[in-house]
Amino acid sequence: MLPASFVESLSDTGLDSASQQTLCQTLGQGETPVSIRFNPYKLQDRPEGEPVPWSRYGFYLNERPSFTLDPWFHAGVYYVQEASSMFLEHICRSLFDGGRSLRILDLCAAPGGKSTLLATVAGLESIVVANEVIRSRALTLADNIRKWGLGNVAVTNNDPSHFGALEHWFDLITVDAPCSGEGMFRKNPEATAQWSPQAVELCAARQRRILSDVWEALRPGGILVYSTCTFNRKENEENVAWLAENYDCEGVKIETDPTWGIVRGEVPTEDADPIPVFRFYPHAVRGEGFFCAVIRKAGGRIRNRLSKPRRTIFAETTRQEQASVKPWFGQPEWMHFAHIGDQLYGYYEQAYSSMREIAERLSVLYSGILIGQLYHGKLKPEHPLALFHDLDRTAIPMAELDKETALNYLRKQDIPVELLTEGMNLVCCEGAPLGWIKRIGNRSNNLYPKELRIQNL
């Protein structure tokens, strides 16, 4: 049962009465579309299925499978993401499809759908800072980034106010703000129970604080994508209007196909082009409720001022260490290798300086690709290296397992040694790497991370 005050609030959205009634019926059905987005760095051929019209890599499934029991899910071959959220890909391609490297901040990033999307679309020489203020959610975000395996993401655990230390640093900032969750009512019944007009007011105020905190980190001419999964104007158009009244904002042109079912709108600005906004209603699109606005920061001199580094994180590698690590990479000439403590990490050369600036000023939980440790010139690889898209698979023997045996590996169970080569092996299922296992004579050591293992299935 939808709250009566929520139903009344729909009159402010611009929907006619018939559409409001249809929307309410749709929200009460409890049937949600299932969509996934595949990783083009790990899967070259597009899978079969109905495509998400605004995404090059997204498509719908006819029914919801048990993703936990699919090895490809654990290999980062695809990400389960709500279709409406994939519209961010269309925005990025409309504005940034020019090939230059970008600095991107995904401010409210957990669990990682938009961050993995941005890392894919922006290109490997760009950097995505995926931030989450709640530490437990940030740890889940880091797991998903490692699984995706592109190496161009830094996962941070900071309050939005901390990004003021990176003045005019980012080309693109996405703020998928915590909201009252009206667009998720049919997917999450708890959101319905927790909704109230008071919660809407609190969310709107918090969203304005977040936008204010992060505005200075966006360079003049840069793009802010503000989004929510709610319908009311207080958290959506009114907050965009508030931003335009208090900061130098201007609109940009984003084309959409009328057949997509997206409701377009505009928020006026005083002296510039109006700001385009996009509404996704579950009765009109095959996706959940979603709102986004695309805002350009008006021109001005880019200052690129940074606070002083709080600490030194990285130590450079020796030529001998690099010689030991390079054979594990398909294109080592692209990489910059560095120590963080006793562990080796890999970064794309063009993005390394940006990664270093982030690590020295923010609370970074994970960045680049964790490679492992060297012992007497021999690498002991860590799990993220197995999932890195450019791992050179000729560097180590591969153990190709069938699905059931692969699931046993993911449960951290013993694997028959006759399937393995003596020493370290890369475990794969249908060509997708899952992790490491070591054969030692007549026994094996399953090196899949304990905290990631499948339990009770």
CA dihedral of 5, 8, 11, 15, whole degrees rounded to 10 = 100
**Sign, CA torsion 153/158/160/164:** negative
Q: Which bin fits 358, alpha (ψ -120 to 50), beta or left (φ > 0)? A: alpha
Q: Which H/E stretch holds residue 153?
A: strand 153-156
- The span from the CA of 61 to the CA of 50, in Å, is 7
Nearest in space to 170 (alpha carbons), one of 207, 131, 113, 133: 131
Burial class of residue 57 (count of CB atoms within 10 Å of its CB; 0-12, 13-18, 19+): buried
List, in order, residues 6 or more apart from 332 with CB less than 8 Å away.
325, 326
Distances (CA, A) of 303 to 219, 224, 225, 311: 8, 18, 22, 23
Nearest in space to 291 (alpha carbons), one of 204, 161, 404: 204
Nearest in space to 435 (alpha carbons), one of 359, 415, 455, 188: 415
- The span from the CA of 292 to the CA of 175, in Å, is 9
DSSP per residue, 109-140? -TT-HHHHHHHHHH-TTSEEEEE-SSHHHHHH
Nearest in space to 215 (alpha carbons), one of 164, 150, 284: 164
Burial class of residue 3 (count of CB atoms within 10 Å of its CB; 0-12, 13-18, 19+): middle
Known active-site residue 229: yes
Q: Which of the residues 229, 249, 292, 428 is marked catalytic?
A: 229
Nearest in space to 237 (alpha carbons), one of 279, 298, 191, 194: 279
Distances (CA, A) of 150 to 87, 121, 323: 21, 11, 22
The encoded tokens of residue 330 equal 């398909």
Q: Around Cβ 95, how many Cβ atoms within 10 Å?
A: 17
**The sheet that has 315-316: what strands, in order across it?**
315-316, 335-340, 343-348, 369-375, 378-381
| Residue that is written with structure tokens 């969509």 in the block | 35
Q: Are strands 315-316 and 78-80 parallel, antiparallel or unpaired?
A: unpaired
Known catalytic residues are 229
